Amino acid sequence: MADNPFALFDAWYAEAKAAEINDPDAMALATATAGGAPSVRMVLLKGHGPDGFTFYTNADSRKGEELAANARAALLFHWKSLRRQVRVEGEVEEVGTDEADAYFATRGRDSQLGAHASDQSRPLASRAEFLARIAKVTARYLVGPVPRPSRWTGFRLTPERIEFWSDKPHRLHERRLFVRDGKSWTEGLLYP
């Protein structure tokens, strides 16, 4: 047993980065509307530590609107090659402007331009319409840095529960659950 779920996550994440062929930082993000209707999609982990797990998106997207209405979410990392999963649940808050700006500046130029051109999760009449918007944004920012659109931001999930799942023979899996208790963590096991 351990008393620090973040140290265990760091170790598992390092192994996943070495073993997973594609996207070891991919995680399913589950959100829900204010009324409780769930939705899930894959996003990429862009930062993690004792303060939480960070990802970036358009605040006007479906997930952004759901997080504004219900600031609780769940994450799932599934590292198939390692036969492991990590489930994380907790409250979500938007990162600060400086942090969002700093991360946006590290993105590739085409990704930055795409963030300006996309009305993420909104209906799109045709692919040609989107490509025309990309061309228009590209012409607008032909020279110099591309500023972060105000609607593009980051979110940090502060965990209240973290479960580490390991595959075992005969479906006798190991499940270790950490639950936040104030500033510390309690750990226990769950039946598979």
Q: What is the pLDDT of residues 6-17, one digit of tens each?
A: 999 999 999 999
Domain ranges of the chain: 5-107+149-190
| DSSP label at residue 80 | G
93 residue type, one letter: E
Is the C-alpha dihedral spanning 13, 19, 24, 30 positive or negative? negative
Which residues are part of the catalytic machinery? 171
Q: What is the pLDDT of residues 100-120, one digit of tens each?
A: 999 999 999 999 999 999 999
Classify domain 5-107+149-190 by CATH number.
2.30.110.10
Extract the runs of DSSP E, i.e. beta strands, from 22-151: 26-32, 38-44, 47-49, 52-58, 72-79, 84-94
Longest C-alpha distance within the chain, in Å?
A: 59
Q: What is the pLDDT of residues 21-80, one digit of tens each?
A: 889 999 999 999 999 999 999 999 999 999 999 999 999 999 999 999 999 999 999 999
DSSP 3-state helix, strand, coil percentages of the chain (rounded to 5)?
A: 30, 40, 30
